[in-house]
Amino acid sequence: MSLQRLNEVRRSFLADLEAAGSDAEALEAVRVRYAGRRSGLLQELTAALRELPNGEKRDYGRALNELKKLVDSQLREAKRRTAAASAAGSRPMVDVTLPGRRPPRGAEHPVHLVRRRIETIFLRMGYSVEDGPEIEDDWHNFEALNLPPDHPARDDQDTFYLPGGSLLRTHTSPVQARVMEEYEPPIRIVVPGRVYRRDSDLRHSPMFHQLEGLVVDEGITFGHLKATLETFLKELFHGVEVRFRPSYFPFTEPSAEVDITCIFCGGKGCGVCSRSGWIEILGSGMVDPRVFEKLGVDAERYTGFAFGLGLDRVAMLLFGIPDLRLMFSGDQRVARQFA
């Protein structure tokens, strides 16, 4: 036995270690062969120390110690590597394509989505949003708005009556009347809300939603009406053209129906716009001085304009909802599409 033998063992150990790679079983075999307690080569080499002549003992001992350290550290390192490799191989991988665990998402009804969009447009222009009762009296719903009893225009607004002569408001306009009774001009308001008409078919629901607007001040002109409604409609329906047609409402004069270019065909003519290229979107007009007089507003000093639109219809147009009945069906798949 000699230093030469130590070197041989050292070489063969390193070769065996490399051959074992990160195979845990092969590494164990290497460990047993070299560092095994009973018959490992290192044991054998240690035993050989006693047989050596005294003069060689010192060098041999030192070299043997170094070899032991090497074997120990190399084995430990190999084991660590193997453990890491095997850990990497067995650790479960997340399937990142699985659906996430989402928190629940609520959704607002399209008619309220549209209401708030419109409110926001007008709030930005300095309008206030007003509120009023759904159960109204004849004065605010009709008479104050220049619709005396037996007026033929009442035919257009089939009314639900309640005991005691009150009624379900047929439009949001009674809130105009209430605001004019309460506040001095300048007035700048919009009034959204539920309204009721005794009418039910594919295009009419006995309950629906309107939004009404009113501006009263000195020097308000028909040109102001036009610009305000154009601004509003272009903000709501991007890129449309707006057209004003003379019409009739008992509470405004002159009155105007307002059309936008059809948002489905861009004005070329399609089924939605009855081939006309235009969609009727709101009614408007200069406040009839008779209304001012009934509500105690100085008709000599003030002029104003008013307008109203159907929120359900706007929601249907804006979001492409084909059937009015879907709006009030209670089907959660309607609102869920607007989450």
Partner 1 sequence: MRFDAEWIRELLEGAPGRDELASKLTACGFNVEVREPDGDSEIWDVDVTTNRPDAMNHRGLAREAAVACGARLKPLEPGLEESGEAASDLVSVEIEAPELCGRYVARVVRGVRMAESPQWLAQRLERCGIRPINAIVDATNYVLMELGQPLHAFDLARVAGRRIVVRRAGQGETLTTLDGEKRALDPSHLVIADETHALALAGIMGGADSEIGGDTADVLIESAYFDPLTIRRGARTLGMHTEASHRFERGADPEMAPVAADVAAALIARLAGGTVCSGRVDVNPRPFRSAALELDTEKLGAFAGLEISVDESVRILEGLGFAPRVENGLVHVHVPSWRVDIERVQDLYEEIIRHVGYDAVPARLPVLPAVPGQRRGHWPLVDRARDAAVSVGLAEVVTYSFISPEQDEAASALPLVTAGPVTLDNPLARTQAIMRRSLLPGLAAAARLNLNQGETDLALFEEGRVFVLADGKPAEGERLGILLSGRTGPWDRREAVSFGDLKGLVEAIVERTGFPALTWKRDAAGALDEAEGAVLLGPGGRPAGYAGLLGTQVASKWELRQPVYVAELDLDRALAEVPLPHFHDLPRFPAVIADMTVEHPASLAYADLEAAVGRLASPLVERVELVVRYSGKGIEPGSVRTTLRVVYRHRERSLTQDEVNAEQEALRGRLASELNVRFA
Q: Which positions from 294 through 313 interact with partner 1, judged by CB under 8 A? A: 303
Judged by CB under 8 A, the residue of 47, 70, 227, 325 near partner 1 is: 227
Q: 260: buried, middle or exposed (CB in 10 Å: 19+, 13-18, 0-12)?
A: buried
Q: Is 153 in the site for partner 1 (CB under 8 A)?
A: yes
Name the residue type at position 100.
Answer: G
Q: Is 138 in the site for partner 1 (CB under 8 A)?
A: no
Nearer to partner 1, 64 or 145 (CB): 145
Nearer to partner 1, 60 or 193 (CB): 193
Minimum Å distance from CB 207 to partner 1? 5
Residue 52 token pair: 């050596």
Q: Is 244 in the site for partner 1 (CB under 8 A)?
A: yes
Q: Which residue has tokens 């041989």?
A: 8
For the window 94-133, what string marks contact with partner 1 as x by the rule CB under 8 A? -----xxxxxxxxxxx-xx---x--x--xxxxxxxxxxxx
**What DSSP string describes 58-97?**
HHHHHHHHHHHHHHHHHHHHHHHHHHHHHHHHHSPPP-TT
**For partner 1, which stretch binds (CB under 8 A), given 2-10, 74-82, 85-93, 151-159?**
151-159
Minimum Å distance from CB 131 to partner 1? 3
Judged by CB under 8 A, the residue of 4, 50, 155, 202 near partner 1 is: 155
Which residues within the stretch 162-191 sit at the binding site for partner 1 (CB under 8 A)?
162-164, 166, 168, 186, 188
In angstroms, the Cα distances linking 153 to 5, 94, 236 are 120, 69, 30
Q: How many CB atoms lie within 10 A of CB 255?
A: 19
Number of residues that bind partner 1 (CB under 8 A): 89
In angstroms, the Cα distances linking 64 to 5, 163, 200 are 10, 113, 104
